[in-house]
């Protein structure tokens, strides 16, 4: 079974984070051959937001995603189609650090009146799996990396970089992390 480790970035503002207002602006993903690796490939794409197409100063500073990055990107339905094609056919497991990414994908599918892809139905919350494996309460990605004596590689809050860091944690845990065994 392949494991798709995904991280999304979305429009955001300093003053609020109402989920229905946010739109995906970047999809980063790493495909693992099994729960413990190795890496089979990567997917990275910017997404053009349509509801509020101008990124806030806060969003640009947090993510380092530029207005040109999203202005020159395809809209969500086209990027989603490419992402699903890249993921391949089951068996696969869709994984993310927490529940946010899955929820945001569902919101954006609803926004565009798209059926929620079956590929996402078997979601694994890596944050909770990691916490169970480690015997701690769930932590943010940067904190989890520190607790594993791993350096954050790349820029935090960039889809591809965060997906790579999550995949590194998964591979460090080996096959055990899927069911929380130590």
The two tokens of residue 173 are: 């845990």
**2 among known catalytic residues:** no
The two tokens of residue 178 are: 């899927």
Of 9, 23, 119, 123, the active-site residue reads 9
Of 153, 157, 175, 176, the active-site residue reads 157
**9 among known catalytic residues:** yes
HEC profile for the chain?
A: CEEEEEEEEECCCCCCCCHHHCCEEEEEEEEECCCCCCEEEEEEEEEECCCCCCCCHHHHHHHCCCHHHHHCCEEHHHHHHHHHHHHCCCCEEEEECCCHHHHHHHHHHHHCCCCCCHHHCCEEEHHHHHHHHHCCCCCCHHHHHHHCCCCCCCCCCCHHHHHHHHHHHHHHHHHHHHCCCC
Report, as residue numbers or ranges, the catalytic residues: 9, 157
């Amino acid at each position: 079974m392949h494991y798709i480790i995904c991280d999304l970035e979305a429009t955001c503002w300093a003053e609020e984070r109402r989920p229905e207002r946010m739109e995906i602006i970047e999809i980063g993903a790493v495909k693992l051959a099994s729960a413990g690796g190795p890496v089979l490939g990567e997917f990275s794409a910017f997404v053009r937001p349509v509801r509020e197409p101008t990124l806030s100063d806060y969003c640009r500073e947090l993510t380092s995603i530029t207005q040109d990055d999203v202005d020159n990107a395809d809209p969500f339905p086209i990027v989603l189609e490419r992402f699903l094609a890249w993921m391949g056919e089951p068996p696969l497991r869709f994984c993310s650090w927490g529940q946010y990414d899955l929820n945001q994908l569902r919101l954006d599918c609803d926004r565009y009146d798209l059926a929620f892809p079956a590929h996402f139905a078997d979601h694994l919350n890596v944050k909770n799996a990691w916490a169970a494996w480690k015997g701690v309460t769930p932590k943010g990605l940067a904190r989890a990396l520190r607790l594993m004596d791993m350096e954050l590689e790349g820029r935090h809050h960039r889809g591809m970089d965060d997906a790579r860091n999550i995949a590194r944690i998964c591979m460090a845990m080996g096959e055990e992390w899927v069911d929380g065994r130590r």
